[in-house]
Amino acid sequence: MELTVWTYEGPPHVGAMRVATAMHDVHYVLHAPQGDTYADLLFTMIERLKKRPPVTYTTFQARDLGGDTAVLFKDAAQDAYARFKPQAMLVGASCTAELIQDDPGGLAEAIGLDIPVVPLELPSYQKKENWGASETFYQMVRGLAGAHAPAPGTERPPRPADRPARVNLLGPTALGFRHRDDVVEIKRLLGEMGIEVAVTAPLDAHARDIARLGEADFNIVLYPEIGLTAAKWLERTFAQPYVQTVPIGVGATKDFVREVAALAGIDPEPVLAANESRLPWYSASVDSNYLTAKRVFIFGDGTHALAAARVARDEMGFDVVGLGTYSRERAKDVRAMAKELGLEALITDDYLAVEKAIEDSAPELILGTQMERHIAKRHGIGCAVISAPVHVQDFPARYSPQMGFEGANVLFDTFVHPLVMGLEEHLLGMFREDFEFNDDAMPSHLATAGEGEIRVQPQPSAPNGAAATNGSAVEPAADATGEAGTHWDDSALQELKKIPFFVRGKVRRNTEKFAADNGVATITVETLYDAKAHFGR
Amino acid sequence: MSDGSTPMAPAPGCTEDRPVLKERGQREVFCGLTGIVWLHRKIQDAFFLVVGSRTCAHLLQSAAGVMIFAEPRFATAIIGERDLAGMADANEELDRCVRQLLERRPDIKLLFLVGSCPSEVIKLDLSRAAERLNVEYSPKVRVLNYSGSGIETTFTQGEDACLTAMVPTLPDAAPGAAPSLLVVGTLADVVEDQITRIADKAGLGPIRFFPPRNSQDLPPVGPNTRFIMAQPFLTDTAKALTDRGAVQVNAPFPLGVEGTTLWLKAAAEALDLPGSHVDVATAANRDRANRALDRYRPELEGKRIFFFPDSQLEIPLARFLNREMGMELVEVGTPYLNRTIHGPDLALLPADAMLSEGQHVEKQLDRCVAARPDITVCGLGLANPLEAQGLTTKWSIELVFTPIQGFEQAGDLAELFARPLNRKTRLVA
Ligand code: SF4
């Protein structure tokens, strides 16, 4: 048993729903109690889809358990087939039905439908949403494309010289973080390269499209969490190579273009020359000087966390002070990246552990999920959302991809927005004793950051650990007791208060560390400035 | 239409013979765990620990919507493969989770272990767990248990199960105590305060509320307790209170001017006070509330409304909208129909109102789309798809999370239905 406050991922059958809902003519019959129908609202409310997810729930009740829940399942499957006329059906169980072991796959087979039926075994007590999406997509690809597989060992015939290269885009789903816009951006980029997209799946695919995945020359895995398992199977079965570089950020997009061009046998340079992101210039322009060495904490799914780390370090000039993911499947890659950054990766799905890590690393900017946005708000730290789990705000009306050259422009704006604008920060530093620049005067562009939520005032002592981490603890506004038994005298505390709130946490932490390292028991104004001199700004 | 000051005679063919369409099929309703979302805000020193799966945790998080609380007073002990395979003793694991929780949250005085479908199916005995934990943590923390599982409870029934579990912990009222009034069912604090003021004025006080805002402030109960329900989904709670000797007062629910008036009068009569006390004490409130309703009546009058089953509030809401706002009832769906509790409201519905109980969501959607009502009350999963088909909807969950009871909220309640209709008239593109 695992004590959980918030969860980053839903159960695996929600991943299966993301695949089914992304497609046009696939129906999912889910053996599940009525409460599990809540999952529909993720799609209709958060993503604002106009149609209900194509899911039939058996909604068995306690009184059915003694009787025949299997019959209930068969009836539901038959009714769904008659009513929705799908071209393929997914069948499976949610956590509760897994325990009663009705075997949805066997039951569906016994009905003898004249469409492909893909049974899903998604172990709810071990696995989570992204794994469920990946497994569902893989099983569907095997089930529908498998029939067209050549004999094992068959060589792939070379592409006719007069036909452009053809690729599949694998991985985008319903409820994905900016999947909708990423697909548009990548298709545009591939179009410029003269490459045809045969099938994008699961997003907007029909069952018949899955059946012909093997026809393309190679695959592009946009979201490895979801598409990689299927891509590997397609490689084994159809000898289709795949591209795994995720084109988020300028550098990664350039790598992606080169990799795709190599597989397609074309020259990448014209496309690279014609497409310039504004990010490099914006980052180089003098206004961006204030971005130098900003301390940034990154947490998200594996794909987006890795991409953000590269962009933050190489393209924004930030200091990455924390990197982590809730995707255990990507732990290895994230660990490697963290090592490169001189960090220990945080691999966890425990929200409280993430909050603790954020407090300990005292970042000035968090690139995270909606969960970290709430942590950031409580601590008065800027935050940009870069990854699922998604919120209604992550489906903006405007075009807002993460991938490709336009995606890089979006990233620049996204990362910079929560930070105090360059000039504004200098002014705050200069006039910090002016009454208008006190703690309650937020940067003007953040003044309405609430989206209808309760506005949480920044908490001056937050980075100091326990305070404000949970609603129960008493929460001293300016606690004179610091780490390792150091103590602040009154004048030092007064001086600390004059420092703008968004750097105060760092100053406090540095000063206490300095005091502890130098055996200073009582921190005075002198200690504060000694520490400042020691650490620099 | 009634101005609410003179109760209408319960006329058109009350409960017994009224036809009800009973359906079975896919139910598109939350499970009882959802009640935690409002119960944890109400009882401010209670913590709700769901013993369930990742699905349960995800449901709670999705239903709670915006997560503005650092650490909410609910969590899930997620059952894992090890617990199921018997590699770990589920009871020991649960004890460990509780220990971990109480160490983090020393402010918690009342802990609910909340059962789910998985915990019920594997027969994890939470009542024994609660006993065991009580021995360990009493008197600092009291541990209770109930089930909010989707195989046993829908949406608002979770509150019923929670309150039923609390009833045995209520202190005994002093023998020979004067008859007193207990209001049962979660209300917003602001609504409770309004009711208290009216009760004092009309001589109904002192009045108590259950659940209380603080678990240390439990209302006493005994043969002299007259309890009246503020929410229509508390069947088992009513039975448990009756078993403690308390006397149930049945009335229409306090929605709208008429409902609130009849509800207060029933309370007065239960205390052997004349209903005219209420008339006098509430004249100004009723007048103000009627003025508030007048504002929205032109927007609602004659409009046709369709209710999908959700909170069990459907019947009292239909009564209010029909009688006070002049709306036509196309279909009134309810997950469960308790004829005792809903009787007084049912009696005020038009004889030909179509009622349905249970759900076959596909058939019901067919009926709804065919009838093309002016407004449809439904869950979050159905609202946007219906809007996309050109229908106007009102999310039913808002009716549970928003203060709608009592005179001062009558106008707000009407406005909740008027707003989506108003919005449609504004948008041209
Ligand atoms: S229906 Fe059952 S399994 Fe689903 S969320 Fe509710 S209690 Fe958990």
CATH of the domain at B244: 3.40.50.1980
According to DSSP, the β-strands at B247-249 and A242-243 are unpaired
Q: What is the pLDDT of residues B119-154, one digit of tens each?
A: 999 999 999 999 999 999 999 999 999 999 999 999
Amino acid identity, residue A521?
A
Q: What is the domain extent for residue B131?
A: 32-153
According to DSSP, the β-strands at B74-78 and A2-4 are antiparallel
Interval A163-172 mean pLDDT: 97
- At the topology level, CATH places domain A279-419 in Rossmann fold (3.40.50)
- At the topology level, CATH places domain A487-536 in Helicase, Ruva Protein; domain 3 (1.10.8)
Name residues whose C-beta falls within 8 Å of residue A62's C-beta, 6 or more positions apart in sequence: B120, B149, B151, B152
Nearest ligand 1 atom, CA B52: 8
* Residue B5 included in any domain: no
Q: Which of B155-176 are b and which e, b meaning 16 or more Cβ less than 10 Å from the residue's Cβ?
A: bbbbbbbbbbbbbeebeebeee
Cα separation of B23 and A195, whole Å?
Answer: 54
Query: What pLDDT does A426 receive?
Result: 54
Is A400:A414 a contact under the CB 8 Å cutoff?
Answer: no
- HSE-up (13 A, CA, CB side) for residue B375: 25
- A435 versus A259: which is more confidently predicted? A259
Name residues whose C-beta falls within 8 Å of residue B254's C-beta, 6 or more positions apart in sequence: B230, B260, B263, B264, B405, B406
Q: Is the CB of A37 under 6 A from ligand 1?
A: no
Q: Is the domain of B185 the same as that of B114? A: no
- CB atoms B27 and A59 under 8 Å: yes
Cα separation of B81 and B124, whole Å?
Answer: 15
Nearest ligand 1 atom, CA B60: 5
Annotated binding site of B for [4Fe-4S] cluster: 31, 56, 117
Q: Is the domain of B117 the same as that of B189? A: no
Q: Is the domain of B302 the same as that of B420? A: yes
For residue B123, report the distance from its CA to the centre of ligand 1, in Å.
15
Q: Is the domain of B145 the same as that of B201? A: no
Q: Pick from B234, B263, B281: which residue ends a domain? A: B281
Nearest ligand 1 atom, CA A35: 1
Give the model's confidence band at A471: pLDDT under 50 very low, under 70 low, under 90 confident, else very high: very low
Q: Is the domain of B420 the same as that of B296? A: yes
The pair of structure tokens assigned to A409 is 């422009």
Q: Is A422 annotated as a binding residue?
A: yes
Q: Is the domain of B148 the same as that of B220? A: no
Q: What is the pLDDT of residues A255-268, one digit of tens each?
A: 999 999 999 999 99
Interval A130-153 mean pLDDT: 95
Q: Which residue of A has its CA nearest to B116?
A: A96
Measure CB to CB from residue A7 to each of B57, B106, B120 and give the nearest one: B57
Is B252:B313 a contact under the CB 8 Å cutoff?
Answer: no
Residue B365, classed as helix, strand or coil, is helix
| Number of domains composing chain B | 3
Q: Is A79 annotated as a binding residue?
A: no
* Residue B342 included in any domain: yes
Query: What pLDDT does A475 receive?
Result: 32
C-alpha distances (whole Å) from A290 to each of A286, A318, A537, B245, B428 are 8, 10, 11, 72, 46
Q: Would you call A307 exposed, middle or buried from its count of C-beta atoms within 10 A (0-12, 13-18, 19+)?
A: buried
* Residue B18 included in any domain: no
Q: Is the domain of B324 the same as that of B250? A: no
* 3-state DSSP helix/strand/coil % of chain B, to nearest 5: 45, 15, 40
* Residue B76 included in any domain: yes
Q: What is the pLDDT of residues B57-85, one digit of tens each?
A: 999 988 876 545 557 899 999 999 999 98
* Residue B360 included in any domain: yes
* Residue B121 included in any domain: yes
Q: Which CATH architecture has domain A166-275?
A: 3-Layer(aba) Sandwich (3.40)
Q: Pick from B136, B153, B170: which residue ends a domain? A: B153
Interval A406-417 mean pLDDT: 96
For every residue of B112-139, DSSP letters joined together read EEEE-HHHHHTT--HHHHHHHHHHHHTT
Q: Which of A62-66, A148-152, B97-101, B332-336 is the least confident region?
A: A62-66
Q: What is the pLDDT of residues B5-63, one digit of tens each?
A: 444 444 444 456 788 999 999 999 999 999 999 999 899 999 999 999 999 999 998 88
Query: What pLDDT does A448 receive?
Result: 39
Which residue has the least CA distance to atom 3 on ligand 1? B117
* Residue B147 included in any domain: yes
- CB atoms A38 and B381 under 8 Å: yes
End-to-end Cα, chain A, rounded Å? 45
Query: What pLDDT does B58 receive?
Result: 96
Query: What pLDDT does A154 receive?
Result: 85
Q: Would you call B252 exposed, middle or buried from its count of C-beta atoms within 10 A (0-12, 13-18, 19+)?
A: buried
Q: Is the domain of B252 the same as that of B305? A: no
Cα separation of A156 and A192, whole Å?
Answer: 26
* Residue B172 included in any domain: no
Q: Would you call A516 exposed, middle or buried from its count of C-beta atoms within 10 A (0-12, 13-18, 19+)?
A: middle
Q: How many Cβ contacts (< 8 angstroms) between chains A and B?
A: 202
- CB atoms A35 and B59 under 8 Å: yes
Residue A383, classed as helix, strand or coil, is strand
Q: Is the domain of B276 the same as that of B306? A: no
Residue A2, classed as helix, strand or coil, is strand
- CB atoms B58 and A56 under 8 Å: no
Query: What pLDDT does A496 receive?
Result: 85
- At the topology level, CATH places domain A12-127 in Rossmann fold (3.40.50)
Cα separation of B289 and B296, whole Å?
Answer: 11
Is A318:A343 a contact under the CB 8 Å cutoff?
Answer: no
Interval B208-231 mean pLDDT: 96
